Structure formats: C-alpha cells, structure tokens
Amino acid sequence: MPPLIFLLRFELSDLSLFTSKLSYLLPPICCFRFKIVVSDPYFIPVPVSCRVVSTRARAGADVVSPSDMMDGRIGAIRAALDADGFQHVSIMSYTAKYQMNPANCREALVETREDETEGADILLVKPGLPYLDIIRLLRDNSPLPIAAYQASGEYSMIKAGGQFKMIDEERVMMETLMCLRRAGADVVFSHFALQAARCLCGEELKCM
C-alpha cells in the first residue's frame, strides 16, 4: 500500500489521497514484533493501526480512515500522527455503519460525540441510501464535515437494474448521489465516481 500511495502522490499532486481499511495492509496472518497478528477486517491491535497510519502518512496520504469503530482508536491514531509530525493528516472516522444496531439512531449520536472528542476530522456514514436519516442527523448535530459511502451493494443493485433494463441506470445513479448530498453529505464516496464524473462532464458540455 505505501508504494502505491507514494506513486499516486507523485502523479496526482493536486488531489487529496484518502486511505481506508487499515487491515488491508496486512496479510491474513503476519508477524509483527515477534507476535503473530491475525488480520481481521474489523480488528487490528491499536499499536499496529498506529504504525499503519504513520506509514501511510509518510508515503503521502492526506486522510486516513480506520473502519472498525473501536472506542479509543481515533484518539490513539491522532496522538500517533501528531507525535510523528503529521498534524496535517486528517482522520475520517467510520462513525455510523452496519456494525451498529440499525434500529437505534441515537447510537450514531453517541459515536459522533466520541469521535469528535478523540480528534476525528470527518465523520463517515456507511451505507449511504439506507442511512439518509443518519446522514441528516449527524449533519444537524455536528460541525464536522459529513461523508457518505455509497457501498458496493447499492452500486450493484443499480448496475443490475440497468443491465436488465428495469431502470435508467444513469438517471438513478445521479439521483441517488444527489440524495446523499441533499441529506447533508459534504463528501460522497461511490463506485460510480468515474461514471458520474463523465456524466457530469457530458452535461456541462451540452450546456456549453
């Protein structure tokens, strides 16, 4: 991962680089300081995650994004980045996602307060469309930027509907992205990013 970040930083110097899924840096089983670490998508020991984010920051990442929602991890990562001289590197916290009880929206507010206190710079909600109310809840209760992650399942449903001619794929794609923004998302992450960008450029060209 760090060599790729370094390459992207060199080639795309005018763009911000976000990195996520800290566990993806590790193989399923690896050795770290003479200890065996099992890489789980939802758990990495805090000292390991601090090393991971510092490595990514050193390679050129502008934003790191731990996804496991473990209490205390954001604070530990913020302290590690600051100690290594990366005060300018931001942390995007997975504040509300499917690990929570989907029926308990108040839990999202609890997580929001904890992440704010620990030093998060951006609050992420995942998935996007099923959690539009949570996006609005966070937008109304936090001064931090809110990000929405249109997950792969949302992308796949729209793609499948378009492939089987059940929906107008491009129109539904753009409307769902607009819904995320309307709900209060300042940033939207989507597998449709490139397709949506081309669509927007096409619309601008037509207007011209």
Q: What pLDDT does 22 receive?
A: 60
Same domain, 98 and 84: no
Of 68, 88, 108, the domain-final residue? 88
Both 191 and 158 in one domain: the answer is yes
Q: CATH number of the domain that 155 lies in?
A: 3.20.20.70
Specify whether the CB–CB gap between 135 and 148 falls below 8 A. Answer: yes
Is 165 catalytic? The answer is: no
The rounded distance, in Å, linking the Cα atoms of 53 and 48 is 9
Cβ atoms of 134 and 96 closer than 8 Å? yes
Is there a single domain that holds both residue 98 and residue 132? yes
Indicate whether 126 pLDDT > 50. Answer: yes
When pLDDT is cut at 50, 70 and 90, the band that residue 20 belongs to is: confident
pLDDT surpasses 60 at 29:
no
Of 55, 88, 121, the residue that ends a domain is 88
Q: Name the residue with higher pLDDT: 19 or 104.
A: 104
What does the pLDDT look like over 59-85, one tens digit per residue? 999 999 988 788 899 999 999 999 999
Residues 6+ apart with CB under 8 A from 3: 59
* Best CA proximity match to 91, nearest among 114, 4, 129: 114
Q: Is 126 a catalytic residue?
A: yes
Say if residues 56 and 130 touch (Cβ distance below 8 Å): no
Whether residue 176 is found in the same domain as residue 194: yes
Among 88, 118, 136, identify where a domain stops: 88
- Do 126 and 164 lie in one domain? The reply is yes
Catalytic residue among 35, 126, 165, 206: 126
Q: Are residues 79 and 120 in the same domain?
A: no
On whether both 32 and 111 belong to a single domain, the answer is no
Whether 113 and 180 share a structural domain: yes
The pLDDT of residue 24 = 47
Q: What is the number of domains present in the chain?
A: 2
Q: List the catalytic residue out of 21, 97, 165, 206.
A: 97
Query: What is the extent of the structural domain holding 66?
Result: 1-88
Residues 57 and 155 in one domain: no
- The pair phi, psi for residue 47, each rounded to 5°, is -60, -35
